[in-house]
Structure 1
Amino acid sequence: MSESTPISPLVPREGWHVMHLFYQIDQAQWSILDNDEQRSAKTRLTKLIQEIRATPDTHLLTFAIATPKADIGFMLLTPDLQVASTFEKQLTLSLGPEVLSPVYSYLSQTESSEYTTTSEQYAEETLKGEKGLTEGSPEFDEGMKAFEDRMTHYLQHRLYPVLPDWPVVCFYPMSKRRSGADNWYSLSFEERKKLMAGHARVGRTYSGRILQLITGSTGFEEFEWGVTLLAKDTIDIKAIVYEMRFDEVTARFGEFGDFYIGMQLPLDELFRRVCL
């Protein structure tokens, strides 16, 4: 009996692969199963979720979708695309054939931002230019250390996030417009960076209320980024998206896909919520 050929991992040089998976439950198909088969199916999905979460550098969020767009959603983060694909197939079949019907999915990667301020820029523009500090002074050195500590934490979150169990999950895809005078990619880097700096200032006012993860999907999907917002209150989701609409980056250049709103729940409650 021949052994299977080992499959080479597909791990990016930096960051992780991210899958957003949305399903509707075929209640007619589920009702065909008897009570023992239903219990076995729920146990199988529970064990699979535990297995996924026990995989190194892998995270899985599970949530009920608030509207009939879908019933149940998963957000899977893991380095190896081979592993992500395997888990996706297992999740899709976990409750039995044709019980979970995919209605939407999105593949992306965690990434750092090309507009991130460098240490050199912070030293010249902020510490020297705005604060008038002299390089080598104690105040200058303290400022640089504080900045570098902040950036280390920020980049770690962007590339290798650990997401909290806040109850509200919002996901939507977006792109930058590429038409006429509003072609984002025809702007110079400096123009784009200046606009993004203003965009980021708005986002920082929601610190502690909104946790945002932006993942890149250029070459993977129709849209260029996936945006995941976690919150404790739905009003903060509504508020940040509305306020961002007035920022020039969004007003002139933003294009969006459908929004999905879900609620992170313990598995026993998730099963009850989706009527399993």
Structure 2
Amino acid sequence: MSTQSQPVVPSTGLTVLHLFCHNSEHLDNDVFTAGVKAAQAEGAQVITAAMLGHKCDVAIMALHADMRVLRRLQARVQVAGLTVSDSYVSITEVSEYAKNMPAEMLQPRLYPVLPPEGKHAFCFYPMSKRREQGANWFTLPY
């Protein structure tokens, strides 16, 4: 039996991890940087940002096909001394309203390259996509 588990990957698209963290008195910036670089060496795209507001000090957004790579990044972030105060996991997808778009427009939705050129900030908001009638915010009137 192999000691390595099989990759955990979506059938299409990438897994996305958002970590919202607070600094601690034990924060080691060198260990944090090494953890990010290790994830990048495994092929992950990682973006970090200093945040405004009380909910976190730093946000980390990471993309990779294999969820295990993102889990290792999360563990390294915690070992570096950041405390994860909130997190979200998602998978890039083609939304129902975009399925008829040309293939060249769908690829960046499934396999984005971060950061987008010319974009120096990002905004995050959790979005519920409940699959019950009347619960899809796209269809609500203004």
Query: Is the Cα contact below 8 Å between 2:42 and 2:69 reproduced in 1?
Result: no
List gaps (5 residues or longer) in structure 2: none
State the secondary structure of the residue aligned to 2:37.
helix
1:84 aligns with 2:70: yes
2:31 corresponds to: 44
Q: Judging changes above 3 Å, is the alpha-carbon distance between structure 1 residues 178 and 14 closer, same or farther for their aligned structure 2 residues?
A: closer
CA shift for structure 1 position 20: 0.3
Q: Judging changes above 3 Å, is the alpha-carbon distance between structure 1 residues 176 and 43 closer, same or farther for their aligned structure 2 residues?
A: closer
State the secondary structure of the residue aligned to 1:111.
coil
Larger Rg: 1
Counterparts of residues 198-209 of structure 1 (less than 5 Å): none
1:160 corresponds to: 111
CA shift for structure 1 position 45: 1.7
Query: Is the Cα contact below 8 Å between 1:19 and 1:106 reproduced in 2?
Result: yes
Relative contact order, higher structure (CA 8 A, sep 6+): 2
Aligned mates of 2:90, 2:38 — CA distance in 1: 22
Determine which structure has the larger helix proportion and give its number: 1
1:62 aligns with 2:44: no
Query: Is the Cα contact below 8 Å between 2:50 and 2:58 reproduced in 1?
Result: yes
TM-score w.r.t. structure 2 length? 0.82
Cα offsets for 1:76-112 (capped at 9, x unmatched): 1000112211111111212xxxx32111100100011
Query: Is the Cα contact below 8 Å between 2:39 and 2:70 reproduced in 1?
Result: no
1:18 corresponds to: 16
Q: Partner amino acid for 1:112?
A: V
Q: Judging changes above 3 Å, is the alpha-carbon distance between structure 1 residues 91 and 250 closer, same or farther for their aligned structure 2 residues?
A: farther
1:6 corresponds to: 4
Query: Is the Cα contact below 8 Å between 1:14 and 1:159 reproduced in 2?
Result: yes
1:101 corresponds to: 83
Q: Judging changes above 3 Å, is the alpha-carbon distance between structure 1 residues 110 and 178 closer, same or farther for their aligned structure 2 residues?
A: closer
CA shift for structure 1 position 249: 3.1
Identity among equivalent pairs (%): 34
State the secondary structure of the residue aligned to 1:105.
strand
Question: 112, 122, 125: which one pairs with 1:169?
Answer: 122
TM-score w.r.t. structure 1 length? 0.45
Query: Is the Cα contact below 8 Å between 1:53 and 1:59 reproduced in 2?
Result: yes
CA shift for structure 1 position 152: 2.3
Q: Judging changes above 3 Å, is the alpha-carbon distance between structure 1 residues 249 and 25 closer, same or farther for their aligned structure 2 residues?
A: same
What is the RMSD computed on CA atoms of the aligned residues?
Answer: 2.8
Counterparts of residues 220-259 of structure 1 (less than 5 Å): 249=140, 251=142
**Deviating 4+ runs (over 4 angstroms):** 176-179
Query: Is the Cα contact below 8 Å between 1:177 and 1:183 reproduced in 2?
Result: no
Aligned mates of 1:10, 1:117 — CA distance in 2: 25
Aligned length: 140
CA shift for structure 1 position 44: 2.0
